[in-house]
Structure 1
């Protein structure tokens, strides 16, 4: 996370999320509340009247489907609007995603846009620039929510006045109503723009393409075709919304919204299954079996980690080290079962677990690449009912939260120097999290699921290496199986708890979340430089690129017990067949 020197205000700037003709938009966090906000910085020379117009529009509009303005602030470099932050990106991002929206989701998003416009029109405001880029998205437990934004060129009409013509036009020609090209404005202009969006959502492309001049002629004179694949009730709605003459369109946003709801009822669209589109983006991968013949003695591989030098495998209480170069195999047997392996830059951290009646004994063992593998030293012993931990990749810091008793809030956070096992502080009381993550050598995240602000959500709480919790921020979903991408700790992949057939791609800087329909609920997830590998114990494997697009799927036909990245272009898979463990590699060169 970096600071932008331009902004010295009540908000901590994370990153730029967008740039338009009139300024830039940043993702920020309030220093007082820890909430995410969008900061729209207006470019130098931006007309004051336009700035005040957008500010007055946003202040007067309060609606769930309109991005609201919270404040206006001045800083050393100028001024900016403080607005709601929408973590789902834009409707354009969603339309460009390989997995298509189902019909219910498409219509619900159009309904969201119309509901926002209905409120704006009640306030005598014509948006004048409705397009997918100006529809922001938030996620809820079961859907996307669209919110109208960017009122920078909106027109405010006094109730006592008539529409006035203006010379020239501003806006987006691909979505502009015909009359806009010669300076006429009315509420019907926004209806026409929504009609273009509905057409694009249903068909996958706009009705008209070309340069601005070509688009003007097309909007004014050209007719369009609607494929028979579009249901008849929706065809009639599109045709009416895209009438050339404003008076022939829907008389209001409310009337068009009602028409879509009637069409949903006629088509019996109450629930719609997600559409998983894979055929257009699948690649072919080569499967090779590594010649680790002595691995047949292993009953089942539960964990795998590796670096450029060695592969570490865990099976029950046995740790196996395989040299990537010499194929040399070394083993160590523990008295306790191995709970997890964590790869560090210079070795491997092993956590063993000895379950007792009410409490478990946890032992941490650190193996350095520079020392003999057979040197078995216990670096830390703890007794706890449960335990979760994380360490930074360089192997300097170890953060541990141990549960004291059955109460969810009775846990303690300790951050230690892994080399000396010393800590800066005494253990800090805290709730017991589902996951700990180190973002860098200074900060980590503790992930909690529960009821926050009367909603079931996930809270990400930042802590530093001194064990102090700083600000937290909320995700509107309950998530599980959170996995860090090894190439960037700010990129994460998770699965929704309520609907586990949905994956969630999370980018923390700036915050962005993408919902991905999955063909199966993964048992294993591996985040690599090329994307994410998802596997199920029954043998199915799914590969996604870093944007969440499907790249390949395969069924190995054997039980999968663990996966991890092997190198820049390979995925290592542990399988079990006839009670014998084998390692497979998938060659991913075609993803590069």
Structure 2
């Protein structure tokens, strides 16, 4: 982003938060309204490539198209640097990212996306507007509980039906791989868009487009070559594709509604054989490497750097590097016990396991120690034993754990990496409260409750997670049931209007009837910077190593996780070959494990790196060691015995550069 663009954006009503795409005629940014905080897409249009008459044309088209499967235009924004179309924001990227990103749509999900596109085209065609450039790059995605909603974007070269008689069929702009035969001669009809949808349907089902080559070769193929459909495509869908890809417009479907109905009929009549959940593409690629896809990865054999037998199962693992000498230590929680181990898995001398009154549910580490979270309180466990009277000569060594904060209601806790502050969020009788605490691991405060720095009401009536994003910001996640009414947070209007430049968020969500996960962003001072609702329920949320990135499981979904960037808001749904129950973040990516002993490694983009089979099933905990980015701790338990392993990922047969 250029300095000129940044300067111009500061004078507008919107704050640019990041580049999310670049189209044929300009760039697209994620932005937030300075007063309301609403997330929008701002399309910057190049004055030279997109002159005023074309700009006004797209604006006119977009203002006349209001449909759930079309990206709508909200307003026009003028700044010193140019003109912007302010449009709906789609956090899921575009259809091309799904096709090329190996996100593994099922047959049902892929066909639903095509149905969405046809529904949007039907609305546009009824307004007399032909898109003229239907392709995966122009199909944007919004996240939905069962997959994605497709929305048509970029009407930059769209045409009115009556204009084909006014301009002498002179417009042949478009994408050759998806252009109908008549488009190469400057002609366009509503059926031209249906031809492009047929090409996309073929590509979704088969994995490649029906024709490929140079623009000249593509033109010849579209004009002359019949489409060859693999036998793996169900016959009912073959009929839809053949009809959509007829060479003559008059022989195709009469309109988008007819093609939509034919596709729905094909789905209902031809997919009872169990193909509905089949991953796309249906046709296996003969040479995945040549087509740009990674070949299937074999399961790597397990190699342990060292291991230690266990007397009881481990439920929580956390690691850190000690500030004094730079060595690594491992925190282990087993039931009500908390133990500290060296990096070589041996216990530290003179440090017996600490017994707490309740089962440890979470461990949160910092440089001075860790928080052991139970159902009714938060305990501080010091890395170095403290002396109660400050006199080492007293000869006494007290317990290294103390109750920091007793809590009578359900709560979530987040700890700053420095250990100098923490946050808790509680809910009582439908009222949420966020509290920031100081003085956690100060020796002078031994035995005292931490200092309460600030406490504010929040909208989290059913909090599920609290994440410390950086030294100054945190995120509160909570369930939002259908019919819930969100109340404004307890901060004043002046405070909530102070939108932080780091996040694309809305200060309040006053709507009712929403369901999903509510995400609220707060500063360390308790100021609410904003909130938004995702129409999906998140669980087991993990803070990643990229700034403001989280990895989360979807509730009631087994073989996928979500990779969510909070700045700007982007969501990827990653399909997996395992059903993960445990996750941990690493410098280079993520490690996930299932109950069957399968360990799956993902890079920072969410792409699979390797899959490893542990020697025993029932993995109970995983964690990155504090010493290096490629050593992993893994504990197993079954049949009254278990093992704690240390794995050097460089020793595994993994095709990945650490």
TM-score (norm 1): 0.89
1:122 equivalenced with 2:135 (yes/no): no
Maintained 8 Å contact 1:312/1:321: yes
CA distance in 1, matches of 2:300, 2:629: 14
1:333 equivalenced with 2:353 (yes/no): yes
Cα 1:268–1:222 change in 2 (3 A) is: closer
Maintained 8 Å contact 2:425/2:432: no
Query: Which residue pairs with 1:242 in the alignment?
Result: 245
| 2:570 aligned to which of 484, 490, 512 | 512
| Cα deviations by residue, 1:271-291 (Å, 9 ceiling, x for unpaired) | 932639999332553523344
DSSP-derived class of the 1:74 partner: strand
Deviation, 1:555, is 4.1
Cα 1:77–1:301 change in 2 (3 A) is: same
Cα 1:555–1:564 change in 2 (3 A) is: same
Cα 1:587–1:274 change in 2 (3 A) is: farther
Maintained 8 Å contact 1:414/1:427: no
CA distance in 2, matches of 1:202, 1:265: 17
Deviation, 1:339, is 3.4
DSSP-derived class of the 1:153 partner: coil
Query: Which residue pairs with 1:27 in the alignment?
Result: 30
Query: Which residue pairs with 2:534 in the alignment?
Result: 475
In the alignment, structure 1 segments of 5+ residues that lack a partner are: none
Maintained 8 Å contact 1:298/1:315: no
Deviation, 1:512, is 1.8
| Cα deviations by residue, 1:144-186 (Å, 9 ceiling, x for unpaired) | 2111000001112339x73743446321111111221221121
DSSP-derived class of the 1:190 partner: helix
CA distance in 1, matches of 2:371, 2:171: 69
1:531 equivalenced with 2:589 (yes/no): yes
DSSP-derived class of the 2:183 partner: helix
Matches within 5 A, 1:352-391: 352-353=373-374, 360-367=376-383, 376=400, 378=402, 380-391=404-415
CA distance in 2, matches of 1:579, 1:245: 71
Which has the larger displacement, 273-282 or 174-183?
273-282
Maintained 8 Å contact 2:299/2:612: no
Maintained 8 Å contact 1:415/1:466: no
The aligned length equals 580
| Cα deviations by residue, 1:42-81 (Å, 9 ceiling, x for unpaired) | 1242311111111111100011110111111112211211
Cα 1:343–1:43 change in 2 (3 A) is: farther
TM-score (norm 2): 0.81
CA distance in 2, matches of 1:415, 1:76: 45
Query: Which residue pairs with 2:644 in the alignment?
Result: 583
Which has the larger displacement, 420-429 or 332-341?
420-429
In the alignment, structure 2 segments of 5+ residues that lack a partner are: 282-292, 322-326, 443-449, 485-511
| Cα deviations by residue, 1:460-480 (Å, 9 ceiling, x for unpaired) | 100000122221011111111
Matches within 5 A, 1:191-590: 191-268=194-271, 272-273=276-277, 275=279, 280-293=295-308, 296=309, 298-308=311-321, 309-310=327-328, 311-324=330-343, 329-330=348-349, 331-336=351-356, 337=358, 338-344=360-366, 346-353=367-374, 360-367=376-383, 376=400, 378=402, 380-403=404-427, 405=428, 407-416=429-438, 418=440, 421-426=450-455, 428=457, 431-451=461-481, 453-485=512-544, 487-556=545-614, 557-566=616-625, 567-577=628-638, 579-589=640-650, 590=654
Maintained 8 Å contact 1:106/1:201: yes
| Cα deviations by residue, 1:500-531 (Å, 9 ceiling, x for unpaired) | 44422222222222223445543211122333
CA distance in 1, matches of 2:71, 2:524: 36
1:141 equivalenced with 2:149 (yes/no): no
Which has the larger displacement, 137-146 or 302-311?
302-311
Maintained 8 Å contact 1:286/1:587: no
Deviation, 1:396, is 3.5
